[in-house]
Structure 1
């Protein structure tokens, strides 16, 4: 009997750019050009799909298929090694939407035969590492603007985001959450007609620590994005709760404020 062995093909990789596109409901701005790049060592076949993205106050994302809202060309393709393929995404949905909507363009790598010359019943078994990437596409009516309001800011113990680890590397066991640390819990709302990406602003938190000393910390966009991601805030009354670490425990009996800068 010929013993088989496992070969993991890890050279497959793709890049998708840009990761965020903003469209209007009509005119030249109603189409986006998304570039799929092949940085692997073999041809990269792919297919696309569109999902609508809705998000609740706790940041939980719900996706529903929405291919009918866009014309995507080409919907499938093959990118040669070191090559690029431009995918055109055209809005064909309701031109009179009242508030902005968010979608994901999925770019999914397809499996292909890895070694057609291996004899049946023996030899190598190849496992392809397939990639799927998602680009955020937001469609907004002309002239729509966000209107972000701070609902509340209070001291709280916050838990940093857990690292994303392939379940196969942990035997299927969940990854332990990092320990909680002092921080602030922030609730914001958007009563405007256009979404807001909260990671695009500088966040400035001020208050008083438990020792009675003034506290001020400025979080730049990179620091915010590491904690809250892009911080997508839906229009039309969308509300989100964000949690930021402060490094020191703030006095809940004293005012705690937040303002946004640039």
Structure 2
């Protein structure tokens, strides 16, 4: 299947950027693999002053080589998959997990809502530019009673020509659900011990470590952290 690379939770347009033309609420949601909680109705909002046609689709989500990769999937039912929205109108799109009800590890997906290139008015037909909006949300199918389990290794100090000194390490999630680094305090042990607050991870391209995935983290070197050859760098949770 073709691989599609997607930037999460951004409104993407062909000719300009607009965060208000199309909205998806909620932008992140966890479904259960079975029962009534395996279904949810998402609200799609047209905040523009034009009538638009949109379609909804879902793709898989994997984190490989510090990049997100996506493929098409048939594990969901979406209704309606296409709809028309009048200016300032909102409608519901029902999503139901139709995959394996006995999954043991959380499955991660992207819910994509995008405008179709359909002209409804004479003004739209004669316009020389067509702005197509697209919003991408996070969708998970999560079994009960699972927790993330983070492990840290390959800790090192790197001098980057543009960024300067960096603290670099891998985070592996051996648990059953995703985990956001900006919800954690992280301990760095060198010659001295330093606790990094969640704010340290706020500017990373992603803070999300999916279940079963590895994320390589690059942080500005903490000025208060000192190292010696006798003590290896160690990163852990408190």
- When normalised by structure 2's length, the TM-score is 0.78
Q: Runs in 1 of length 4+ with deviation above 4 angstroms?
A: 8-12
Residues 172 and 209, structure 2, Cα contact 8 Å, conserved in 1: no
Classify the secondary structure of the residue corresponding to 1:95: coil
Please give the alpha-carbon distance, in whole angstroms, between the structure 2 residues aligned to 1:227 and 1:197: 11
Please give the alpha-carbon distance, in whole angstroms, between the structure 1 residues aligned to 2:173 and 2:157: 22
Deviations 1:46-86 (A, max 9, x none): 10111111111x321221100x2111122111222222222
Report the counterpart of residue 227 of structure 2 in structure 1: 251
Report the counterpart of residue 137 of structure 2 in structure 1: 135
Report the counterpart of residue 174 of structure 1 in structure 2: none
CA positional deviation for 1:20: 1.5
* 1:241 and 2:182 aligned: no
Where in structure 2 are the equivalents of 1:16-35 lying within 5 Å? 16-35=24-43
Report the counterpart of residue 72 of structure 1 in structure 2: 78
Structure 2: runs of 5 or more not aligned: 1-14
Higher CA-based Rg? 1
CA positional deviation for 1:241: 1.4
Shift in alpha-carbon separation, 1:252–1:246, aligned structure 2, 3 A: same
Deviates more, 1:142-151 or 1:182-191: 142-151
Structure 1: runs of 5 or more not aligned: 1-7, 160-178, 209-213
Please give the alpha-carbon distance, in whole angstroms, between the structure 2 residues aligned to 1:150 and 1:15: 36
Classify the secondary structure of the residue corresponding to 2:71: strand
CA positional deviation for 1:109: 0.8
Deviates more, 1:243-252 or 1:137-146: 243-252
Report the counterpart of residue 162 of structure 1 in structure 2: none
CA positional deviation for 1:258: 3.2
* 1:224 and 2:204 aligned: no
Tell me the matched-pair count: 221
Please give the alpha-carbon distance, in whole angstroms, between the structure 2 residues aligned to 1:202 and 1:218: 6
Report the counterpart of residue 172 of structure 1 in structure 2: none
Where in structure 2 are the equivalents of 1:1-262 lying within 5 Å? 13-56=21-64, 58-66=65-73, 68-113=74-119, 116=122, 125-157=127-159, 179-208=162-191, 216=194, 218-221=196-199, 223-235=200-212, 238-246=213-221, 248=223, 251=227, 253=229, 254-260=231-237
CA positional deviation for 1:114: 6.7
- When normalised by structure 1's length, the TM-score is 0.72
Residues 153 and 235, structure 2, Cα contact 8 Å, conserved in 1: no
Please give the alpha-carbon distance, in whole angstroms, between the structure 2 residues aligned to 1:200 and 1:140: 19
CA positional deviation for 1:215: 7.1
Shift in alpha-carbon separation, 1:200–1:247, aligned structure 2, 3 A: closer
**Alignment RMSD:** 2.9
Shift in alpha-carbon separation, 1:234–1:9, aligned structure 2, 3 A: closer
CA positional deviation for 1:218: 2.8
